[in-house]
Amino acid sequence: MTPPLIAVLNGPNLNMLGTRQPELYGAATLDDVEALCAEAAEALGLAIDFRQTNGEGELVTWIQECRGRAAGIVINPAAYSHTSIAVMDALKAVDLPVVEVHISNIHRREEFRHLSYVSKVATGVIAGLGIQGYALALRAMAELLAQEGNT
């Protein structure tokens, strides 16, 4: 039996993890995040498709491609959380469980970061727990899929 596929999508500037504001985001790189996700997914009986883009349109396209292909989406939309109605609409349109992840606690940061359009359509949100938030998101996704009978 093929394990359920979870798209793990990352937005702008996450390719700079480890060098960009390490006091806020830590020393882990995006490669470290991908390795953590692969390990967590394997332990949970999931497959992942891990991607990062700096482009809003590309992120929207990837979300749309999940319809009929993925069982769920774990997404760190980064700055697009606060600005992109297009990302929100795409997530809504694919009709899949979505877990939003933020490495930092967006509610302890600048006021403009407190609003997330993605949160309005996400099944759940994990923020402020560093890169471990990704592993927690995959665990939550596995539980959501089990409740729906998709595993």
Distance from C-alpha of 51 to C-alpha of 112, rounded to nearest angstrom: 26
Extract the tokens encoding 124: 């759940």
Instruction: Give the active site residue among 25, 80, 117, 134.
Output: 25
3-state DSSP of 23-74: HHHCCCCHHHHHHHHHHHHHHHCCEEEEEECCCHHHHHHHHHHCCCCCCEEE
From the candidates 80, 102, 117, 134, give the one annotated as an active-site residue: 102
> Could you confirm whether 102 is annotated as catalytic?
yes
What residues act catalytically?
Answer: 25, 102
